[in-house]
Structure 1
Amino acid sequence: MRPHLVLCLTAADVRRTLRGVNPRNAAGPDNIPGRVLRECADQLADVLTDIFNISLSCTVVPTCFKTTTIIPVPKKPTVSCLNDYRPIALASIIMKCFERLVMRHIKTQLPPSLDPLQFAYHSNCSTDDAISTTLHPARTHLDKKGTYVRMLFTDFSSAFNTIVPQHLIGKLSLLGLNTSLCNWILDFLTEVYQSVRIGSSTSNTTTLSTGAPQGSVLSPLLFTLLTHDCAAMHSSNHIIKFTDDTTVVGLINKDNESAYREEVRELVSWCKVNNLYLNVDKTKEMVDDFRRARQGHSPLAINGSSVEIVKNIKFLGVHIAENLTWTLNTSSITKRAQQRLYFLRKLREAHLPSPILTTFYRGTVESILSSCIITWFGNCTAFDRKTLQRIVRTAEKIIWVSLTFITNIYITRCIRKATNIQILDTSATPSRLQQLVYNVDRPSTDDRGDRVGVCLRLIQGTCGYWPESRDMEGRGHPATHRKGNLVVCDGAAETMTHFPGHNRNGEPSGGRALGMLHPGPICAPGMFD
């Protein structure tokens, strides 16, 4: 730890942050709109820089910056109790700019390999990575004889609101943050002045010294730092995190669940030490067991209550079934997309031009169809794929323009993800999927195309197979052309320019086996020469 170093911000950094303010963000209790800060960034930068640096040197956050207004936002359409509301804090936009500058500094002080299985709030990481990392060890393990997998999907009750600032500061000190910055964060989290506003009514102000306000910039990062030491103890278990969504994956051999159950007990103990409360009613478990002679599985017990074993779960927006099929997920996506098609028809009846309708389609329909697509589309049945493609065909008839096939979106996303993995592989900051890449027997050459090929195999082995070269309506892929040794569809060509060293089946030309792959082709026929 470096106790004597004090963060000093520059006017250029403050000016750049002010210019990046979203003018549509709601103003905080100071009623200073984001548009003013953005348009007057040059005039305000020097003044705010002095205020920020004085605050950092004195390790005191101005009271007006710690004043927040809480807006209750329903978590679901039907509200039955207070727990169905999510408290969103409207803080000063100036304070959010201040927090963003501090957050950037904190990230530079943290080890790059810190908490590799936390996928939230990291560049080049998304829910795709969290879902793929959860399913990959499960699918690989289920290929072995006499095995099954238990997955525990935990739910914390008001996770951000139960943070103990002093306990968090102790962990930040162990991570190497200097004393001055730790004291500033402690003051940021304590003696926070809050009031609740519903409509035009505002409550009296209350002072709080626990928790981290939801809606602030620093709170998510501080929560991930609080939970960075929550890791699996046994090699047969995996703990994957996306903010407060924590999943325990237990790989069971020959009905021996001792390591998995001990892991869950340690997780419960860790939660008590860190003042996090597991909501057992919302915590679910799913068992993936394909053995013919399988028997009933006894449920877990947490704090004296049994955890419900479910046949399917919604995990980070994706429905996962116990048999690892995607029919339920496809049905959910189709239903939501069809609801959006109703509004698309209404806009067409209003005689809006096709470009506007296309923009609406991409933002409201295609975004639903392609959400986390690399994690599930490759293993969809032909019927499910036809169902999804039918949505696109219906939208084409409404808009009267040609739209991107779902298959093409899937291929483009997979290539883009593989490219991101191999770029991070060669950079100073390791990828959070890099540990899976290193499990693959990699080609000896250092050619960029071969590294991308390994990453494509990682995605294919985790998420499914490349689709056939014909779309769901029986037509060939349109506008396919050659880039180097790669034949791609429009939209995918921009992500790759060269992909040598592989035969038609996607295997390295040197003939080295990739043991992690499931049998079957990894790419559309004709993609490689």
Structure 2
Amino acid sequence: MGLGGTVLQWLRSFLEGRSQMVSLGDTCSTPQPLSCGVPQGSVLSPMLFNIYMKLGEIIRSFGVQCHLYADDVQLCHSFPPVTKEAVQVLNRCLATVSDWMRENRLKLNPGKTEVLLVSRRAKQGIGLQPVLDEVALPLKTQVRSLGVLLDSSLSLEPQVSAVARGAFAQLRLVRQLRPFLGRSDLAMVVHALVTSRLDYCNALYVGLPLKTGRKLQLVQWVAARLITGATYRERTTPLLSQLHWLPICYRAQFKVLVLTYKALNGSSPIYLSEHISSYEPARSLRSSGEALLLVPPASEARLVGTRDSAFSVVAPQLWNTLPREMRQIPILLGFRKALKTWLCA
């Protein structure tokens, strides 16, 4: 891994000096030293596990991209609309992965493996069924990825509906506690049970159709009325301002702009920073030195229907609308404060 000095000593102390025992009833076996594995319950352990495993190298050798989350692996493969080679590549990749895991005494469960074909034409998926351990994997209309429901058209309608349904269920429970809680405690409970659901991965909600986004906005309006005790006849805009809440669409824009700021300042993952680039005019213009970003042309968008939600498109579009002074703020905390004030104006 190329580590040395204090970092290597820290990792050694993290991995060495551990033991395990078997407990059965009131009896425990003699502790035995561990020479492999990683401690459970630590954020560092899955990262070291993924670095040690060669699974990523095997998958990428077939030209297939992957994301590793400890014991959860996602394969991503892009191919032309009409092709049979893509399935053959995936089958060879899955067969090699299965053989490698079998050699290392690991089990790959076909029953928990799901396939999602992202396409504007649902019928294109007919016949595109990868095979894992002689089991054909059926195409799903939607799959869950890190808690987000993804559908074949990336419309996010199932995700929004699920979030709104779960948030309203929590609001009904919180409403029963309202007589026993003060306003500050009530706001804390709403933040923990409702707002956290609305804010989870909300950068994906940029560019949603008004009809879809309104489902989440209704949740926020009901939550604001619950905290303030306002009736349904009162306007919601003053309530949100009173609570210092940004509307749902602006909360999503806030998240995207914060991620963009981090990407430009080297504090974000590479897979985000590589999707944005600075705007460099061919000749000297008044926009030179404005810290603007390049908006990619329409030809670079894979799916026309999702262009307005793609980070590579939305991030530069939103960033370029910010005042020059805000784009040049050197500290993240100062940028967040200035951004929220600007969005509230």
Q: TM-score, normalised by structure 2?
A: 0.70
The unaligned stretches of length 5 or more in structure 1 are 9-101, 107-180, 470-481, 499-523
Match of 2:72 among 242, 245, 256: 245
Q: Is the partner of 1:450 in helix, strand or coil?
A: coil
Aligned residue in 1 for 2:162: 332
What is the distance in 2 between the residues matched to 1:2 and 1:241? 21
Aligned residue in 2 for 1:367: 196
Q: Is the partner of 2:124 in helix, strand or coil?
A: coil
What is the distance in 2 between the residues matched to 1:206 and 1:303? 39
CA 249–371 in structure 1, closer or farther in 2 if over 3 Å, else same: same
What is the distance in 1 between the residues matched to 2:106 and 2:139? 22
Deviations 1:191-215, CA, capped at 9 Å, x for gaps = 522437xxxx656347675644422
Match of 1:286 among 116, 123, 128: 116
The unaligned stretches of length 5 or more in structure 2 are 229-238, 282-286, 302-306
Query: 2:263 aligned with 1:436, yes or no?
Result: no
Aligned residue in 2 for 1:341: 171
Query: 2:50 aligned with 1:224, yes or no?
Result: yes
Query: 2:255 aligned with 1:413, yes or no?
Result: yes
Query: 2:74 aligned with 1:233, yes or no?
Result: no
What amino acid maps onto 1:241 in structure 2?
L
Q: Is the partner of 1:424 in helix, strand or coil?
A: coil
Deviations 1:473-506, CA, capped at 9 Å, x for gaps = xxxxxxxxx854669xxx99833869xxxxxxxx
Matches within 5 A, 1:21-170: 105-106=10-11
CA 459–399 in structure 1, closer or farther in 2 if over 3 Å, else same: same
User: In 2, are the aligned partners of 1:415 and 1:496 still within 8 Å (CA)?
Assistant: no
The two structures, once aligned, show a CA RMSD in angstroms of 4.2
Q: CA deviation at 1:246?
A: 1.2
CA 372–292 in structure 1, closer or farther in 2 if over 3 Å, else same: closer
Q: CA deviation at 1:252?
A: 1.8
Percent identity between matched residues is: 17
What is the distance in 2 between the residues matched to 1:215 and 1:393? 38
User: In 1, are the aligned partners of 2:95 and 2:133 still within 8 Å (CA)?
Assistant: no
Aligned residue in 1 for 2:232: none
Report which of the two has the higher share of helix.
2
What is the distance in 2 between the residues matched to 1:349 and 1:393? 20
CA 459–246 in structure 1, closer or farther in 2 if over 3 Å, else same: farther
Report which of the two has the higher share of strand.
1
Deviations 1:300-356, CA, capped at 9 Å, x for gaps = 222222223211101100000112111110111011111211232123121x22222
CA 448–104 in structure 1, closer or farther in 2 if over 3 Å, else same: farther
What is the distance in 2 between the residues matched to 1:259 and 1:441? 36
Aligned residue in 2 for 1:41: none
CA 103–432 in structure 1, closer or farther in 2 if over 3 Å, else same: farther
Query: 2:239 aligned with 1:397, yes or no?
Result: no
What amino acid maps onto 1:443 in structure 2?
E
Say which structure, 1 or 2, has more relative contact order (CA 8 Å, 6+ apart): 1
What is the distance in 2 between the residues matched to 1:365 and 1:248? 32
What is the distance in 2 between the residues matched to 1:212 and 1:431? 26
Deviations 1:261-286, CA, capped at 9 Å, x for gaps = 33333333343344432111101111
CA 293–338 in structure 1, closer or farther in 2 if over 3 Å, else same: closer
